[in-house]
Structure 1
Amino acid sequence: MTIRHAPITRRGLLRTGAAIGAGALAAGALPRAAFASTMRSWPTVDALLSGYVEGRKVANMVAMMGQGQHAPVSIAHGRLGLLRDTLADSNSLYRIYSMTKPVTGMAAMILVDEGKLQLDQPLADILPAFAEMQVQREYDGAITEDNLEPAVRPITIRHLLTHTAGFGYNIVQQGALAKAYMENGIVPGAISRAAPPGAFGGKPAASLEAFAEALAELPLVYQPGTRWSYSVSLDLLGRVIEVVSGQPFDEFLMERIIVPTGMVDTGFQVAGADIPRLTDNYFLAGDTLIPVDLAGNSVYLDRQPFPYGGAGLASTPRDYDRFLQMLAGYGAIEGKRVMSAKAVALGTSDLFPDTMDPADSFMANYGHGAGGRVGKGATKGEYGWFGAAGTSGLVNLTSGLRFSLYTQYMPAQAYDLNAQFQQAVYADYAAAGSPAA
């Protein structure tokens, strides 16, 4: 079901948003039957989306909400681009960037479940080049002998899944390592056919194998297993998956997750015939949306040198909701089993190593599973991640609630959209289950 409402004023959005408190997040215990009977009512979510679109902060937004194995509700506002006529909907194609990470993480969990990988297996068992890593003494400092020391423990598969291996990221690092990553093809993903701004530039390595070999030559920013450091570790995990499985990473992803889950429009490349459904992507400069990747000239129409396991997929709201539905079903969707329940339960649990530094700020608020954030406290049971162009996808394994948001602007941090969307979903979720509803 798709809902399209008349425009709601920004004043109304602010009034509704002001009523959302942290207490709304406690709705995770809402009975499933109560929620299922009121699936159509998402006024706070609708107000949030219409406020962003009517205020021209974005060109479009689509939200998907569902629970358990129930069909989702979609709310859509706006058009595929500021100068386009086609309305966005649940079958529109979006660059989901880092929402690729949970898909890659679950692919690894399939191999763990089959005994082909182990969580605490040293990475060097599979990729020997990572046997003797060096670590920067000063975080993000110089890449010189006096600023390097040996890693005190081996990098493991667990570390790759949870961003605790100590690797860096172009979009995070500011020092010499960021430059070295770019010069050696260790780039976060494809943004545009034109030269993209800042950290999004650089020519990628020629293959996943070449990517891994180049990464092994550069130092870590943290000692393995001590800090959450957002990184290229899920891209490297793609190389691990293809070595262990014996087939190309993208083929493994298609064969074991994407096709059996029924994700018919998800992949690392968009076909020319699908250009009319592909959204435009924008770079936010102040209050101005500047086109950075228009559908007709999108870099997603090109075959990339290698599949980015950390940020490479394009998908639709309908498709990614099916991935979340499969997780909500503990590996099963519409009676078909894609993963074992054990693999999903493990992959959506907190996998942080016991060597973590108690001062780690991420760990103080969240856990981390297989490529996705794990909730604590009021959001316990929640798993998922976010994309660099403002997308997000989460599922609560306790309640079965799943919710995802799609839009296209960069950088995502320019708006506090992820938190606003999560609060709006839980506010409506709580209201739907109240006795007065």
Structure 2
Amino acid sequence: MTGGRGMEDRFDQERLGRIDAFVRERYLDSGRLPNAQLLIAHRGQIVHFSHQGAAREGGDTIDERSIFRIASMTKPITSLAFMMLVEEGRVALDTPVHHVLPEFRGLGVYDGGGAGVPFITRPTAEPMRMVDLLRHTSGLTYGFQNRGNIDAAYREGRIESWHGNLDLDGFVAALGKLPLEFSPGSAWNYSVSTDVLGAVIERVSGQPLDRLFEERIFAPLGMADTGFHVPPEKAERLTDCYTLQPGEGRVMYDRGASSAWAQPPKLRSGGGGLVSTALDYHRFCRMCENGGTLDGVRIIGRKTLELMTMNHLPGQSDLASMSRSLFSESTNGGAGFGLGFAVTTDVARSMMPGSAGEYYWGGMFSTAFFVDPVEHIHMVFMTQLSPSMAYPIRRELKTMIYAALN
């Protein structure tokens, strides 16, 4: 499917067609991915929108109505919601997190212990601030990083489980009892920071995260199929979701017909809980590309969005020098990090075609997006397989999209 009369000239249509053939031959025919949906837009107009592979085992091909678990593509939306509160003067980037979440008061940095031995901590050099949550320099972590005793404590407490026993307040309370991995601002680590940001949003706004998202972002943007769960009337549209198991290959993770996402989660995860469609996320990208407005509705200020998409790593550093993560949704070369987005700072170091200033992120089920404000293009890619970095498909897609640009 293509659209946007006159816009197709911006791309070589034969080269765009090669992308679908490449994905089909390398990833679908081989069984590596269950399906693949690719949307490419120029100046807000869709110039390519393709659907390949079954939505469910033995079912029909995915289409524009298919609903996907977008996981960490939730993070830019949560970050945008927080910045809306900043615009209203209700909180600031340099506000210490414990001013809003007193559970975090007195958090220390890991200095020993764990694995059954009481933790030893030392004081932080600087307090954790809101900007640290937005740019993942908070000292928090993810249990799946599997690097040490802090990660293990996250796993043991099932702290990150969206469908577990903790609600958002319980989640914050549990984190407040564990050490930080490093002093805030001194390193970068992909983490639950954006989930904590969701708790900040709830307490500052006085609204549950799902209601604020719906009233202030989804409804104004017309993102009718995006939320923390799939309602019964849309349940048949939710795709199957898979994971890779060593020695087994692709196995079912969550069936669309009996999905955990059919019920509202106990933990409203601002870091990874949303489901959405390619067309809905396309509208979010259009709003970003338009400087915070879409169809006459302003969601956020133009200068605020510019601030969000600058590199905010201390000293204008990059992920290659600051990251302690074993896993994130980005390769580190040539990448900085803004307020909710990774940002390309050095195209040559990224070793992919692109533009300085483009911003992007992805989700654990291999979904991805990027916005290039220089070329006025954006991409949304949907599929459902974890882990997201199992295959280099994001790099391949990006390279082929720019190769098709006239």
Answer yes or no: same fold by TM over 0.5. Answer: yes
Contact kept, 8 Å, 1:69 with 1:334, in 2: the verdict is: no
Q: Does 1:170 align with 2:130?
A: no
SS in 2 for 1:132: coil
Q: Give the deviation of 1:211 after TM superposition.
A: 0.9
From 337, 347, 367, give the equivalent of 1:391: 367
Q: Are the counterparts in 1 of residues 336 and 345 from structure 2 also a CA contact under 8 Å?
A: yes
Q: Which amino acid aligns with 1:234?
A: T
Alpha-carbon distance in 2 for matches of 1:355, 1:166: 19
Other-structure match for 1:109: 83
Alignment equivalent of 1:210, drawn from 166, 170, 190: 170
CA–CA distance in 2 between the matches of 1:223 and 1:278? 41
CA distance in 1, matches of 2:383, 2:175: 31
1:253-300, CA deviations, whole angstroms, 9 ceiling, x for partnerless residues?
Answer: 111111111111000001222222111011123573211111111100
1:238 CA drift (Å): 0.4
Q: How does 1:10-409 map to 2 (within 5 A)?
A: 36-39=8-11, 41=13, 42-51=16-25, 52-81=27-56, 83-137=57-111, 147-187=120-160, 189-190=162-163, 203-205=164-166, 207-285=167-245, 286=247, 288-354=249-315, 359-361=321-323, 365-378=334-347, 379-409=355-385
2:351 matched to which residue of 1? Answer: none
Cα contact 1:281–1:409 (8 A) shared by 2: yes
Alpha-carbon shift at residue 141 of structure 1 (Å): 6.8
- Percent identical residues: 33
CA deviations on 1:38-77 (whole Å, 9 max, x unpaired) are 4572134223321211222111100110022223531111
Do the aligned partners of 2:66 and 2:239 also contact (CA within 8 Å) in 1? yes
Separation in structure 1 between the aligned mates of residue 237 and residue 142 of structure 2, nearest angstrom: 31
Structure 2: give runs of 5+ residues left out of the alignment. 324-330, 348-354
Relative contact order (alpha carbons < 8 A, sep ≥ 6): 1 or 2 greater?
1
The alpha-carbon distance between structure 1 residues 181 and 85, as it changes in their structure 2 partners (threshold 3 A), is same
Q: Structure 1 residues 120 and 322, CA, compared in 2 at 3 Å: closer, same or farther?
A: same
Tell me the amino acid that sits aligned with residue 424 of structure 1. Answer: M
Aligned to 1:13: none
Aligned mates of 1:321, 1:189 — CA distance in 2: 25
Cα displacement (A) at 1:334: 2.3
Q: Give the counterpart letter for 2:397 in structure 1.
A: F
Q: Contact between 2:70 and 2:363, CA under 8 Å: does it hold in 1? A: yes
Q: Which moved more, 1:332-341 or 1:208-217?
A: 332-341
Please state how far the C-alpha of 1:309 moved relative to its aligned partner.
0.4
In 2, Cα distance between the equivalents of 1:259 and 1:223? Answer: 39
Q: How many residues align?
A: 387
Cα distance in 2 for residues equivalent to 1:366 and 1:404: 19
Q: What is the TM-score of this pair, normalised by structure 2?
A: 0.88
* SS of residue in 2 equivalent to 1:234: helix
One-letter amino acid of the structure 1 residue matched with residue 384 of structure 2: Q
Deviations 1:311-364 (A, max 9, x none): 100001111111111101111112322211122111112122349799425876
Distance 2:131 2:211 in 1: 23
Please tell me whether residue 417 in structure 1 is matched to residue 393 in structure 2.
yes
Letter in 1 for 2:67: L
Q: Check conservation: 2:78, 2:198, Cα contact below 8 A.
A: yes
Matched-pair contact (CA < 8 Å) for 2:311–2:345: no
User: RMSD across aligned C-alpha pairs, in angstroms?
Assistant: 2.5
Unmatched 5+ residue regions in structure 1?
A: 4-32, 191-202
TM-score (normalizing by structure 1): 0.82
Separation in structure 1 between the aligned mates of residue 268 and residue 156 of structure 2, nearest angstrom:
19
Whether the aligned pair in 2 keeps the contact of 1:391 and 1:406 (CA below 8 Å) is yes
| Residues 378-429 of structure 1 deviation map (CA, whole Å, 9 limit, x = unaligned) | 2312112111011101111222211011111111121112212221221112
